[in-house]
Structure 1
Amino acid sequence: MTLIVDSPTVYTSQGVPISVTGIAQVKIQGQNEEMLLAACEQFLDKSEDEIQHIALVTLEGHQRAIMGSMTVEEIYKDRKKFSKQVFEVASSDLVNMGITVVSYTLKDIRDEEGYLKSLGMARTAEVKRDARIGEAEARADAKIKEAIAEEQRMASVFLNDTEIAKARRDFELKKAAYDVEVQTKNAEAEMAYELQAAKTKQRIKEEQMQIQVVERTQQIAVQEQEIARRERELEATIRRPAEAEKYRLEKIAEANHKRILLEAEAEAEALRLKGEAKLMPLKLKLRLRLNKWLRKLTLGRNIRKLR
Structure 2
Amino acid sequence: FLSSSSSSSLSHVFHLWPKRGHGGLRSTVATGHHSSLPPHRAGFCRSPPVMVAGGRVFVLPCIQQIQRISLNTLTLNVKSEKVYTRHGVPISVTGIAQVKIQGQNKEMLAAACQMFLGKTEAEIAHIALETLEGHQRAIMAHMTVEEIYKDRQKFSEQVFKVASSDLVNMGISVVSYTLKDIHDDQDYLHSLGKARTAQVQKDARIGEAEAKRDAGIREAKAKQEKVSAQYLSEIEMAKAQRDYELKKAAYDIEVNTRRAQADLAYQLQVAKTKQQIEEQRVQVQVVERAQQVAVQEQEIARREKELEARVRKPAEAERYKLERLAAAEKSQLIMQAEAEAESVRMRGEAEAFAVGARARAEAEQMAKKAEAFQLYQEAAQLDMLLEKLPQVAEEISGPLTSANKITLVSSGSGAMGAAKVTGEVLDILSRLPESVERLTGISIS
Structure 1-normalised TM-score?
0.47
Query: TM-score by structure 2 length?
Result: 0.34
- The structure with the largest helix share of the pair is 1
